Chain A
Amino acid sequence: MSGQVEDLLARGPDAVNVGVRDFAEALEAQEVPVVQVEWEPPPELDDDVAALLEELT
Protein backbone atom coordinates (compact mmCIF):
# COMPACT_ATOMS: atom_id res chain seq x y z
CA MET A 1 0.00 0.00 0.00
CA SER A 2 1.39 3.40 -0.97
CA GLY A 3 1.92 6.06 1.65
CA GLN A 4 -0.88 8.16 0.17
CA VAL A 5 -3.39 5.31 0.34
CA GLU A 6 -2.33 4.54 3.91
CA ASP A 7 -2.85 8.23 4.74
CA LEU A 8 -6.33 8.25 3.16
CA LEU A 9 -7.48 5.16 5.07
CA ALA A 10 -5.96 6.34 8.37
CA ARG A 11 -7.04 9.97 8.22
CA GLY A 12 -10.31 9.55 6.30
CA PRO A 13 -11.41 11.85 3.51
CA ASP A 14 -10.47 15.54 3.44
CA ALA A 15 -12.22 16.57 0.27
CA VAL A 16 -12.45 18.89 -2.69
CA ASN A 17 -15.85 18.59 -4.40
CA VAL A 18 -16.12 19.38 -8.09
CA GLY A 19 -19.67 19.28 -9.41
CA VAL A 20 -22.94 18.29 -7.73
CA ARG A 21 -23.19 20.42 -4.62
CA ASP A 22 -25.23 17.85 -2.69
CA PHE A 23 -22.14 15.67 -2.43
CA ALA A 24 -20.36 18.49 -0.58
CA GLU A 25 -23.35 18.92 1.71
CA ALA A 26 -23.37 15.17 2.42
CA LEU A 27 -19.68 15.35 3.35
CA GLU A 28 -20.30 18.31 5.64
CA ALA A 29 -23.13 16.40 7.32
CA GLN A 30 -20.59 13.68 8.11
CA GLU A 31 -18.14 16.26 9.47
CA VAL A 32 -15.76 15.70 6.57
CA PRO A 33 -13.86 18.88 5.65
CA VAL A 34 -14.72 19.92 2.09
CA VAL A 35 -14.01 22.77 -0.30
CA GLN A 36 -16.56 23.26 -3.09
CA VAL A 37 -15.31 24.14 -6.57
CA GLU A 38 -17.81 26.19 -8.57
CA TRP A 39 -17.46 24.33 -11.82
CA GLU A 40 -18.78 25.44 -15.20
CA PRO A 41 -18.17 23.85 -18.57
CA PRO A 42 -15.40 25.54 -20.51
CA PRO A 43 -16.72 27.92 -23.19
CA GLU A 44 -16.94 26.53 -26.70
CA LEU A 45 -14.06 27.99 -28.70
CA ASP A 46 -13.52 27.95 -32.39
CA ASP A 47 -10.51 25.91 -33.46
CA ASP A 48 -8.19 28.90 -34.06
CA VAL A 49 -8.75 30.36 -30.60
CA ALA A 50 -8.39 26.93 -29.00
CA ALA A 51 -5.07 26.39 -30.80
CA LEU A 52 -3.82 29.81 -29.68
CA LEU A 53 -4.78 29.10 -26.07
CA GLU A 54 -3.10 25.72 -26.26
CA GLU A 55 0.14 27.43 -27.38
CA LEU A 56 -0.08 30.01 -24.60
CA THR A 57 -0.67 27.45 -21.83
Chain B
Amino acid sequence: MTRARVLRGRYVDSVVLMRLARELASLDGVDDAAAMMGTDANKALLADGGFLDGPVEAGPNDLVVAVKGASGEALGRVEELLEAPAAAVGARTLAQAAALRPSANVAVISVPGAYAAAEARTALELGLHVFLFSSNVPLEQELELKQLAAARGLLCMGPDCGTALIAGKGLGFANAVRRGPVGVVGASGTGIQAVTALLDRFGAGVSHAIGCGSRDLSEAVAGATAFAGLEALAADAATSAIAVVSKPPAPAVAARIRAWAATAPKPVVLGFIGDRASPPTLAALARAAAGAAGAAVPDQEPPEELPHFDLAPSQRFLRGLYAGGTLAYEAQLVLREAGIPCSSNAPLRGERRLASVARSEGHTILDLGAEELTLGRPHPMIDARLRCARLLQEAEDPQVAVVLLDVVLGYGAARDPAGDLAGAIGEARALAARDGRELAVLAHVLGTERDPQGLRRQERTLRRAGAVLLTTSSAMVEAAISLATREPAAALVGSAR
Protein backbone atom coordinates (compact mmCIF):
# COMPACT_ATOMS: atom_id res chain seq x y z
CA MET B 1 0.00 0.00 0.00
CA THR B 2 1.39 3.43 -0.89
CA ARG B 3 0.17 6.82 0.28
CA ALA B 4 1.37 10.29 -0.62
CA ARG B 5 0.82 13.75 0.79
CA VAL B 6 1.60 17.19 -0.59
CA LEU B 7 2.49 20.10 1.69
CA ARG B 8 1.98 23.20 -0.44
CA GLY B 9 4.57 25.98 -0.29
CA ARG B 10 6.59 24.05 2.25
CA TYR B 11 10.23 24.38 1.26
CA VAL B 12 12.79 22.23 3.05
CA ASP B 13 16.44 21.80 2.14
CA SER B 14 17.94 18.54 0.96
CA VAL B 15 19.45 17.63 4.30
CA VAL B 16 16.08 17.93 6.04
CA LEU B 17 14.45 15.93 3.22
CA MET B 18 16.84 13.10 3.90
CA ARG B 19 16.23 13.16 7.65
CA LEU B 20 12.50 13.26 7.14
CA ALA B 21 12.54 10.24 4.81
CA ARG B 22 14.75 8.30 7.23
CA GLU B 23 12.61 9.11 10.25
CA LEU B 24 9.40 8.18 8.44
CA ALA B 25 10.92 4.92 7.22
CA SER B 26 11.83 4.00 10.79
CA LEU B 27 8.23 4.30 12.05
CA ASP B 28 6.16 1.17 12.77
CA GLY B 29 4.07 0.05 9.82
CA VAL B 30 6.25 1.88 7.26
CA ASP B 31 8.35 -0.19 4.85
CA ASP B 32 9.92 2.68 2.94
CA ALA B 33 9.51 6.43 2.69
CA ALA B 34 10.49 9.26 0.36
CA ALA B 35 10.42 13.03 0.70
CA MET B 36 11.19 15.32 -2.21
CA MET B 37 10.35 18.72 -3.57
CA GLY B 38 7.69 18.33 -6.27
CA THR B 39 9.72 18.95 -9.43
CA ASP B 40 8.72 16.97 -12.51
CA ALA B 41 11.95 14.96 -12.31
CA ASN B 42 11.31 14.05 -8.68
CA LYS B 43 7.69 13.08 -9.33
CA ALA B 44 8.97 10.74 -12.04
CA LEU B 45 11.50 9.30 -9.58
CA LEU B 46 8.78 8.75 -7.00
CA ALA B 47 6.60 7.03 -9.57
CA ASP B 48 9.53 4.86 -10.75
CA GLY B 49 10.22 3.94 -7.14
CA GLY B 50 6.66 2.73 -6.71
CA PHE B 51 5.78 5.54 -4.31
CA LEU B 52 2.92 6.97 -6.36
CA ASP B 53 -0.18 5.16 -7.59
CA GLY B 54 -1.20 7.97 -9.90
CA PRO B 55 -0.42 11.58 -10.84
CA VAL B 56 0.18 14.00 -7.99
CA GLU B 57 -0.57 17.73 -8.07
CA ALA B 58 2.61 19.38 -6.84
CA GLY B 59 5.10 22.01 -8.00
CA PRO B 60 8.76 22.71 -7.27
CA ASN B 61 7.90 24.64 -4.09
CA ASP B 62 5.67 21.88 -2.70
CA LEU B 63 6.92 19.10 -0.49
CA VAL B 64 5.83 15.60 -1.52
CA VAL B 65 5.99 12.88 1.10
CA ALA B 66 5.16 9.27 0.31
CA VAL B 67 5.26 6.03 2.29
CA LYS B 68 4.90 2.35 1.54
CA GLY B 69 3.49 0.05 4.18
CA ALA B 70 0.47 -0.92 6.19
CA SER B 71 0.23 2.23 8.28
CA GLY B 72 -1.03 5.52 6.94
CA GLU B 73 -0.56 7.26 10.25
CA ALA B 74 3.04 8.14 9.49
CA LEU B 75 1.97 10.84 7.01
CA GLY B 76 0.12 12.63 9.77
CA ARG B 77 3.35 13.03 11.67
CA VAL B 78 5.24 14.93 8.96
CA GLU B 79 4.77 18.36 10.56
CA GLU B 80 5.93 17.09 13.89
CA LEU B 81 9.04 15.54 12.33
CA LEU B 82 9.74 18.73 10.39
CA GLU B 83 9.82 20.87 13.53
CA ALA B 84 13.31 22.34 13.40
CA PRO B 85 15.60 21.26 16.22
CA ALA B 86 16.45 23.96 18.74
CA ALA B 87 19.25 25.88 17.08
CA ALA B 88 21.44 28.90 17.39
CA VAL B 89 19.32 30.78 14.93
CA GLY B 90 19.76 34.45 14.61
CA ALA B 91 17.85 36.09 11.88
CA ARG B 92 15.13 35.96 9.24
CA THR B 93 17.14 37.90 6.65
CA LEU B 94 20.74 38.48 5.64
CA ALA B 95 20.53 42.14 6.60
CA GLN B 96 19.35 41.21 10.10
CA ALA B 97 22.16 38.69 10.42
CA ALA B 98 24.77 41.21 9.33
CA ALA B 99 23.40 43.70 11.85
CA LEU B 100 23.55 41.04 14.58
CA ARG B 101 27.14 40.28 13.73
CA PRO B 102 28.93 43.37 12.41
CA SER B 103 32.27 41.50 12.23
CA ALA B 104 30.88 39.00 9.68
CA ASN B 105 32.92 38.92 6.48
CA VAL B 106 31.39 36.11 4.38
CA ALA B 107 27.93 34.83 3.47
CA VAL B 108 27.57 31.09 2.82
CA ILE B 109 24.53 30.72 0.56
CA SER B 110 22.83 27.43 -0.36
CA VAL B 111 19.23 28.36 -1.17
CA PRO B 112 17.67 27.05 -4.43
CA GLY B 113 19.19 28.51 -7.58
CA ALA B 114 16.18 30.63 -8.51
CA TYR B 115 16.56 32.67 -5.30
CA ALA B 116 20.33 32.45 -4.85
CA ALA B 117 21.44 35.47 -6.87
CA ALA B 118 19.16 37.82 -4.94
CA GLU B 119 20.65 36.66 -1.64
CA ALA B 120 24.19 36.89 -3.00
CA ARG B 121 23.57 40.41 -4.30
CA THR B 122 22.30 41.47 -0.89
CA ALA B 123 25.38 39.96 0.75
CA LEU B 124 27.76 41.79 -1.60
CA GLU B 125 25.88 45.05 -1.04
CA LEU B 126 26.33 44.51 2.70
CA GLY B 127 30.10 44.23 2.11
CA LEU B 128 30.27 40.45 2.60
CA HIS B 129 32.32 38.04 0.50
CA VAL B 130 30.10 35.34 -0.95
CA PHE B 131 30.47 31.57 -0.95
CA LEU B 132 27.62 30.54 -3.25
CA PHE B 133 27.00 26.80 -3.06
CA SER B 134 23.73 26.95 -5.02
CA SER B 135 23.71 25.68 -8.58
CA ASN B 136 21.18 26.42 -11.34
CA VAL B 137 21.91 30.16 -11.16
CA PRO B 138 21.41 31.75 -14.61
CA LEU B 139 24.61 32.81 -16.36
CA GLU B 140 23.64 36.47 -16.65
CA GLN B 141 23.09 36.61 -12.87
CA GLU B 142 26.52 35.07 -12.29
CA LEU B 143 28.07 37.76 -14.50
CA GLU B 144 26.26 40.53 -12.62
CA LEU B 145 27.31 39.14 -9.24
CA LYS B 146 30.94 38.83 -10.24
CA GLN B 147 31.00 42.36 -11.66
CA LEU B 148 29.48 43.69 -8.44
CA ALA B 149 32.01 41.73 -6.36
CA ALA B 150 34.92 43.08 -8.40
CA ALA B 151 33.66 46.65 -8.08
CA ARG B 152 33.49 46.26 -4.29
CA GLY B 153 36.79 44.41 -3.85
CA LEU B 154 34.98 41.26 -2.70
CA LEU B 155 35.27 37.59 -3.65
CA CYS B 156 32.26 35.86 -5.20
CA MET B 157 33.06 32.15 -4.88
CA GLY B 158 30.45 30.44 -7.04
CA PRO B 159 27.67 29.89 -7.99
CA ASP B 160 28.03 26.11 -7.95
CA CYS B 161 31.02 26.38 -5.63
CA GLY B 162 31.36 23.26 -3.49
CA THR B 163 34.48 23.94 -1.49
CA ALA B 164 36.75 26.62 -0.08
CA LEU B 165 39.37 26.70 2.67
CA ILE B 166 40.04 30.11 4.14
CA ALA B 167 42.83 30.33 6.71
CA GLY B 168 42.39 26.64 7.49
CA LYS B 169 38.60 26.76 7.86
CA GLY B 170 36.41 24.90 5.39
CA LEU B 171 33.33 26.37 3.71
CA GLY B 172 30.82 23.98 2.13
CA PHE B 173 32.19 20.47 1.63
CA ALA B 174 35.77 20.68 2.85
CA ASN B 175 38.37 18.62 4.65
CA ALA B 176 40.28 19.38 7.83
CA VAL B 177 43.54 20.10 6.05
CA ARG B 178 46.69 21.22 7.85
CA ARG B 179 47.84 24.74 7.04
CA GLY B 180 50.88 25.04 4.83
CA PRO B 181 52.47 26.86 1.91
CA VAL B 182 50.27 25.83 -1.06
CA GLY B 183 47.45 28.10 -2.17
CA VAL B 184 44.76 26.57 -4.37
CA VAL B 185 42.33 28.07 -6.85
CA GLY B 186 39.76 25.63 -8.16
CA ALA B 187 36.68 25.44 -10.33
CA SER B 188 35.63 22.05 -9.00
CA GLY B 189 34.55 21.05 -5.51
CA THR B 190 35.83 17.50 -5.29
CA GLY B 191 38.90 18.50 -7.30
CA ILE B 192 39.82 21.00 -4.57
CA GLN B 193 38.98 18.44 -1.88
CA ALA B 194 41.15 15.77 -3.51
CA VAL B 195 44.14 18.05 -4.03
CA THR B 196 44.00 19.65 -0.57
CA ALA B 197 43.54 16.27 1.19
CA LEU B 198 46.53 14.89 -0.71
CA LEU B 199 48.61 17.98 0.15
CA ASP B 200 47.78 17.16 3.78
CA ARG B 201 48.78 13.53 3.25
CA PHE B 202 52.08 14.58 1.63
CA GLY B 203 52.82 16.76 4.66
CA ALA B 204 52.74 20.04 2.72
CA GLY B 205 49.46 21.69 3.76
CA VAL B 206 47.33 24.49 2.36
CA SER B 207 47.29 28.25 3.01
CA HIS B 208 43.91 28.94 1.37
CA ALA B 209 41.80 27.24 -1.28
CA ILE B 210 39.55 29.61 -3.20
CA GLY B 211 36.68 28.05 -5.11
CA CYS B 212 35.40 29.95 -8.10
CA GLY B 213 32.45 27.84 -9.28
CA SER B 214 32.05 25.39 -12.14
CA ARG B 215 31.40 28.03 -14.83
CA ASP B 216 34.03 30.58 -13.85
CA LEU B 217 36.59 29.44 -16.44
CA SER B 218 34.09 29.51 -19.31
CA GLU B 219 34.53 32.05 -22.07
CA ALA B 220 31.58 34.09 -20.80
CA VAL B 221 32.70 34.44 -17.19
CA ALA B 222 36.38 34.59 -18.24
CA GLY B 223 37.80 33.53 -14.90
CA ALA B 224 36.51 36.56 -12.99
CA THR B 225 36.83 34.87 -9.61
CA ALA B 226 39.83 32.74 -10.55
CA PHE B 227 41.87 35.85 -11.32
CA ALA B 228 40.73 37.56 -8.10
CA GLY B 229 41.80 34.42 -6.22
CA LEU B 230 45.13 34.18 -8.03
CA GLU B 231 45.91 37.85 -7.27
CA ALA B 232 45.00 37.32 -3.62
CA LEU B 233 47.24 34.26 -3.29
CA ALA B 234 50.07 36.00 -5.14
CA ALA B 235 49.99 38.79 -2.54
CA ASP B 236 49.44 36.48 0.44
CA ALA B 237 52.48 36.04 2.68
CA ALA B 238 51.38 32.57 3.84
CA THR B 239 51.36 31.22 0.26
CA SER B 240 54.62 30.22 -1.44
CA ALA B 241 53.23 28.27 -4.43
CA ILE B 242 49.87 28.23 -6.19
CA ALA B 243 47.98 25.29 -7.70
CA VAL B 244 45.05 25.67 -10.07
CA VAL B 245 42.67 22.72 -10.35
CA SER B 246 39.93 22.50 -12.97
CA LYS B 247 38.89 20.79 -16.13
CA PRO B 248 40.55 22.47 -19.14
CA PRO B 249 39.17 26.04 -19.29
CA ALA B 250 37.90 27.75 -22.43
CA PRO B 251 41.00 28.20 -24.66
CA ALA B 252 41.09 31.99 -24.36
CA VAL B 253 40.80 31.79 -20.56
CA ALA B 254 43.47 29.08 -20.36
CA ALA B 255 45.81 31.29 -22.40
CA ARG B 256 45.25 34.25 -20.07
CA ILE B 257 45.90 32.11 -17.00
CA ARG B 258 49.08 30.74 -18.57
CA ALA B 259 50.23 34.28 -19.31
CA TRP B 260 49.46 35.34 -15.75
CA ALA B 261 51.34 32.33 -14.35
CA ALA B 262 54.39 33.07 -16.47
CA THR B 263 54.90 36.43 -14.76
CA ALA B 264 53.55 35.52 -11.30
CA PRO B 265 55.81 36.25 -8.33
CA LYS B 266 55.48 32.63 -7.13
CA PRO B 267 55.55 29.20 -8.78
CA VAL B 268 52.17 28.30 -10.26
CA VAL B 269 51.22 24.69 -11.11
CA LEU B 270 48.38 24.60 -13.62
CA GLY B 271 46.26 21.51 -13.12
CA PHE B 272 43.91 21.67 -16.07
CA ILE B 273 43.15 17.98 -15.62
CA GLY B 274 42.78 16.37 -19.03
CA ASP B 275 45.00 18.92 -20.78
CA ARG B 276 48.20 17.40 -22.16
CA ALA B 277 50.40 20.12 -20.66
CA SER B 278 49.06 19.56 -17.12
CA PRO B 279 49.70 16.82 -14.57
CA PRO B 280 47.58 13.85 -15.69
CA THR B 281 45.84 13.19 -12.37
CA LEU B 282 44.80 14.96 -9.18
CA ALA B 283 47.50 13.06 -7.28
CA ALA B 284 50.16 14.14 -9.75
CA LEU B 285 48.96 17.73 -9.43
CA ALA B 286 49.14 17.64 -5.62
CA ARG B 287 52.62 16.13 -5.83
CA ALA B 288 53.82 18.83 -8.24
CA ALA B 289 52.28 21.61 -6.14
CA ALA B 290 53.88 20.33 -2.93
CA GLY B 291 57.22 20.15 -4.72
CA ALA B 292 56.83 23.69 -6.09
CA ALA B 293 56.27 24.96 -2.53
CA GLY B 294 59.52 23.34 -1.44
CA ALA B 295 57.90 20.58 0.61
CA ALA B 296 59.74 17.27 0.82
CA VAL B 297 57.34 15.07 -1.17
CA PRO B 298 57.42 11.38 -0.29
CA ASP B 299 58.42 9.04 -3.10
CA GLN B 300 55.68 7.78 -5.36
CA GLU B 301 54.28 4.69 -3.75
CA PRO B 302 54.62 1.44 -5.74
CA PRO B 303 51.40 0.03 -7.22
CA GLU B 304 49.33 -1.62 -4.53
CA GLU B 305 49.46 -5.39 -4.33
CA LEU B 306 45.93 -6.49 -5.09
CA PRO B 307 44.56 -9.62 -3.46
CA HIS B 308 43.59 -12.42 -5.81
CA PHE B 309 39.96 -12.37 -6.92
CA ASP B 310 38.38 -15.49 -8.32
CA LEU B 311 36.76 -13.88 -11.36
CA ALA B 312 34.64 -15.87 -13.80
CA PRO B 313 35.38 -15.45 -17.55
CA SER B 314 32.10 -13.52 -17.93
CA GLN B 315 33.26 -10.86 -15.44
CA ARG B 316 34.94 -8.38 -17.77
CA PHE B 317 33.67 -4.94 -16.86
CA LEU B 318 34.30 -2.27 -14.26
CA ARG B 319 31.58 -0.03 -12.84
CA GLY B 320 32.51 3.23 -11.12
CA LEU B 321 29.84 4.53 -8.73
CA TYR B 322 31.11 8.01 -7.90
CA ALA B 323 29.93 10.65 -5.49
CA GLY B 324 32.60 13.15 -6.59
CA GLY B 325 32.10 14.64 -10.06
CA THR B 326 35.76 15.44 -10.65
CA LEU B 327 36.78 11.97 -9.53
CA ALA B 328 34.35 10.46 -12.05
CA TYR B 329 35.86 12.73 -14.68
CA GLU B 330 39.41 11.76 -13.72
CA ALA B 331 38.47 8.06 -13.82
CA GLN B 332 37.39 8.43 -17.44
CA LEU B 333 40.69 10.14 -18.28
CA VAL B 334 42.68 7.27 -16.74
CA LEU B 335 40.58 4.79 -18.74
CA ARG B 336 41.10 6.76 -21.94
CA GLU B 337 44.85 6.87 -21.28
CA ALA B 338 44.79 3.07 -20.96
CA GLY B 339 42.87 2.79 -24.25
CA ILE B 340 39.70 1.47 -22.61
CA PRO B 341 36.37 2.83 -23.88
CA CYS B 342 33.67 3.48 -21.31
CA SER B 343 30.18 4.94 -21.02
CA SER B 344 29.01 7.55 -18.55
CA ASN B 345 26.09 9.78 -17.63
CA ALA B 346 28.69 12.59 -17.64
CA PRO B 347 30.95 11.52 -20.51
CA LEU B 348 34.19 13.14 -21.59
CA ARG B 349 34.00 14.90 -24.93
CA GLY B 350 33.84 12.24 -27.63
CA GLU B 351 32.94 9.40 -25.26
CA ARG B 352 29.69 7.49 -25.10
CA ARG B 353 26.72 8.78 -23.09
CA LEU B 354 24.67 6.08 -21.38
CA ALA B 355 21.30 5.56 -23.05
CA SER B 356 19.77 5.49 -19.58
CA VAL B 357 21.40 6.43 -16.31
CA ALA B 358 19.51 3.51 -14.77
CA ARG B 359 21.47 0.87 -16.69
CA SER B 360 25.24 0.46 -17.06
CA GLU B 361 26.77 -0.68 -20.35
CA GLY B 362 30.21 -2.27 -20.62
CA HIS B 363 32.75 -0.30 -18.61
CA THR B 364 30.70 2.43 -16.98
CA ILE B 365 31.61 5.45 -14.87
CA LEU B 366 28.62 7.02 -13.11
CA ASP B 367 28.63 10.47 -11.53
CA LEU B 368 25.86 9.94 -8.98
CA GLY B 369 26.12 13.57 -7.91
CA ALA B 370 25.13 14.79 -11.38
CA GLU B 371 22.34 17.32 -11.51
CA GLU B 372 19.77 14.97 -13.07
CA LEU B 373 20.15 12.68 -10.04
CA THR B 374 20.24 15.30 -7.27
CA LEU B 375 17.37 17.66 -8.14
CA GLY B 376 15.48 18.14 -4.89
CA ARG B 377 17.10 15.25 -3.12
CA PRO B 378 20.34 14.81 -1.20
CA HIS B 379 23.74 14.47 -2.80
CA PRO B 380 25.42 11.03 -2.53
CA MET B 381 28.08 12.59 -0.30
CA ILE B 382 25.30 13.06 2.26
CA ASP B 383 22.99 10.18 1.53
CA ALA B 384 24.28 6.76 0.41
CA ARG B 385 20.93 5.16 -0.39
CA LEU B 386 21.05 5.65 -4.16
CA ARG B 387 24.62 4.36 -4.29
CA CYS B 388 23.84 1.32 -2.11
CA ALA B 389 20.93 0.38 -4.37
CA ARG B 390 23.10 0.77 -7.47
CA LEU B 391 25.87 -1.32 -5.93
CA LEU B 392 23.42 -4.21 -5.47
CA GLN B 393 22.16 -3.77 -9.02
CA GLU B 394 25.72 -4.00 -10.39
CA ALA B 395 26.42 -7.06 -8.21
CA GLU B 396 23.60 -8.90 -9.95
CA ASP B 397 25.17 -8.36 -13.37
CA PRO B 398 27.30 -11.43 -14.22
CA GLN B 399 29.50 -9.28 -16.48
CA VAL B 400 30.75 -7.09 -13.65
CA ALA B 401 34.21 -7.86 -12.27
CA VAL B 402 34.85 -4.80 -10.16
CA VAL B 403 33.01 -1.87 -8.62
CA LEU B 404 34.78 1.39 -7.70
CA LEU B 405 33.61 3.63 -4.86
CA ASP B 406 34.94 7.03 -3.82
CA VAL B 407 34.19 7.91 -0.21
CA VAL B 408 34.41 11.61 0.53
CA LEU B 409 34.99 12.73 4.12
CA GLY B 410 35.07 16.16 5.65
CA TYR B 411 32.75 18.88 6.87
CA GLY B 412 29.42 18.79 5.08
CA ALA B 413 29.73 15.09 4.19
CA ALA B 414 27.81 12.28 5.90
CA ARG B 415 28.76 11.51 9.49
CA ASP B 416 29.84 7.95 8.67
CA PRO B 417 29.98 7.52 4.89
CA ALA B 418 31.94 4.25 5.10
CA GLY B 419 29.44 2.84 7.59
CA ASP B 420 26.58 3.86 5.30
CA LEU B 421 28.14 1.82 2.46
CA ALA B 422 29.50 -1.11 4.46
CA GLY B 423 26.26 -3.11 4.61
CA ALA B 424 25.69 -2.81 0.87
CA ILE B 425 29.31 -3.79 0.10
CA GLY B 426 28.94 -7.00 2.12
CA GLU B 427 25.53 -7.69 0.63
CA ALA B 428 26.76 -7.09 -2.93
CA ARG B 429 29.66 -9.49 -2.50
CA ALA B 430 27.37 -12.09 -0.92
CA LEU B 431 24.85 -11.68 -3.74
CA ALA B 432 27.52 -12.35 -6.35
CA ALA B 433 28.87 -15.27 -4.31
CA ARG B 434 25.43 -16.91 -4.21
CA ASP B 435 25.59 -16.83 -7.98
CA GLY B 436 29.03 -18.47 -7.98
CA ARG B 437 31.00 -15.29 -8.64
CA GLU B 438 33.42 -13.17 -6.65
CA LEU B 439 32.87 -9.41 -6.91
CA ALA B 440 35.83 -7.09 -6.35
CA VAL B 441 34.94 -3.83 -4.57
CA LEU B 442 37.63 -1.14 -4.63
CA ALA B 443 37.38 2.04 -2.58
CA HIS B 444 39.31 5.26 -2.19
CA VAL B 445 38.71 7.49 0.81
CA LEU B 446 39.21 11.18 0.13
CA GLY B 447 39.93 12.77 3.49
CA THR B 448 42.36 13.47 6.28
CA GLU B 449 42.98 12.00 9.69
CA ARG B 450 41.62 15.19 11.29
CA ASP B 451 38.33 15.07 9.39
CA PRO B 452 35.37 14.51 11.73
CA GLN B 453 35.02 10.97 10.34
CA GLY B 454 38.75 10.11 10.58
CA LEU B 455 40.54 8.75 7.50
CA ARG B 456 41.90 5.55 9.08
CA ARG B 457 38.66 4.75 10.87
CA GLN B 458 36.70 5.03 7.63
CA GLU B 459 39.24 2.93 5.74
CA ARG B 460 39.04 0.26 8.43
CA THR B 461 35.24 0.12 8.17
CA LEU B 462 35.42 -0.37 4.40
CA ARG B 463 38.15 -3.01 4.65
CA ARG B 464 36.08 -4.96 7.18
CA ALA B 465 33.12 -4.83 4.80
CA GLY B 466 35.25 -6.50 2.12
CA ALA B 467 36.54 -3.54 0.08
CA VAL B 468 40.14 -3.13 -1.08
CA LEU B 469 41.48 0.36 -0.30
CA LEU B 470 43.60 2.46 -2.67
CA THR B 471 45.43 5.62 -1.60
CA THR B 472 44.61 7.77 -4.62
CA SER B 473 41.60 7.93 -6.91
CA SER B 474 43.71 7.30 -10.02
CA ALA B 475 45.42 4.28 -8.43
CA MET B 476 41.95 2.87 -7.77
CA VAL B 477 41.05 3.10 -11.47
CA GLU B 478 44.34 1.50 -12.50
CA ALA B 479 43.70 -1.36 -10.10
CA ALA B 480 40.18 -1.79 -11.47
CA ILE B 481 41.50 -1.89 -15.05
CA SER B 482 44.04 -4.47 -14.01
CA LEU B 483 41.32 -6.68 -12.51
CA ALA B 484 38.89 -6.30 -15.39
CA THR B 485 41.50 -6.89 -18.10
CA ARG B 486 43.65 -9.43 -16.15
CA GLU B 487 46.71 -7.28 -16.98
CA PRO B 488 49.22 -6.41 -14.25
CA ALA B 489 48.67 -2.85 -12.98
CA ALA B 490 52.28 -1.79 -13.51
CA ALA B 491 51.92 -2.42 -17.23
CA LEU B 492 49.07 0.06 -17.53
CA VAL B 493 49.47 3.72 -16.77
CA GLY B 494 52.75 4.07 -14.94
CA SER B 495 52.71 7.86 -15.01
CA ALA B 496 49.11 8.49 -14.12
CA ARG B 497 49.35 8.09 -10.40
Q: Are A15 and B154 in contact (CB under 8 A)?
A: no
Question: Once bound together, how far apart are the Cα atoms of A9 and B154, in whole Å?
Answer: 12
Q: Are B166 and A18 in contact (CB under 8 A)?
A: no
Contact code string A2-14 (vs B, CB < 8 Å = 1, else 0)? 1111111111111
Contact of A1 among B103, B169, B232 (CB under 8 A): B232
**A interface secondary structure, majority:** mixed
Question: Once bound together, how far apart are the Cα atoms of A16 and B169, in whole Å?
Answer: 14
Q: Are A14 and B101 in contact (CB under 8 A)?
A: yes
Q: Which residues of A contact B87 (CB under 8 A)?
A: 21, 36
Q: Are A12 and B169 in contact (CB under 8 A)?
A: yes
Of chain A, the residue at the smallest CB distance from B15 is A22
Give the contacts of B60-105 with A (CB-CB under 8 A): 61, 84, 87-94, 96-98, 100-101, 103-105
Interface size on B, residues (CB 8 A): 64
Q: Are A21 and B236 in contact (CB under 8 A)?
A: no
- Interface hub of B61, B129, B134, B169 (most chain A Cβ within 10 A): B169
Interface size on A, residues (CB 8 A): 42
Chain A CB within 8 A of B115 CB: yes
Instruction: Assess A16 versus B15: contact at CB under 8 Å? Given A4-B129, A4-B154, A37-B93.
Output: no
Q: Are A9 and B208 in contact (CB under 8 A)?
A: yes
Instruction: Assess A35 versus B235: contact at CB under 8 Å? Given A26-B170, A27-B169.
Output: no
- Closest CB-CB distance, B196 to chain A, in whole Å? 14
Chain A CB within 8 A of B167 CB: yes
Instruction: Assess A35 versus B110: contact at CB under 8 Å? Given A12-B169, A41-B115.
Output: no
Q: Which residues of A contact B97 (CB under 8 A)?
A: 16, 18, 35-37
Instruction: Assess A37 versus B90: contact at CB under 8 Å? Given A3-B153, A12-B167, A22-B412.
Output: yes
- Closest CB-CB distance, B41 to chain A, in whole Å? 18
Binds A, one of B6-14, B245-253, B423-431, B486-494: B6-14
Q: Are B15 and A20 in contact (CB under 8 A)?
A: yes
Contacts beyond the supplied A17-B107, A22-B15: 19 A-B pairs with Cβ under 8 Å: A2-B154, A4-B127, A5-B154, A6-B235, A8-B105, A16-B104, A16-B107, A20-B110, A21-B87, A22-B412, A27-B169, A33-B103, A34-B108, A35-B91, A37-B91, A38-B92, A39-B111, A41-B9, A44-B9
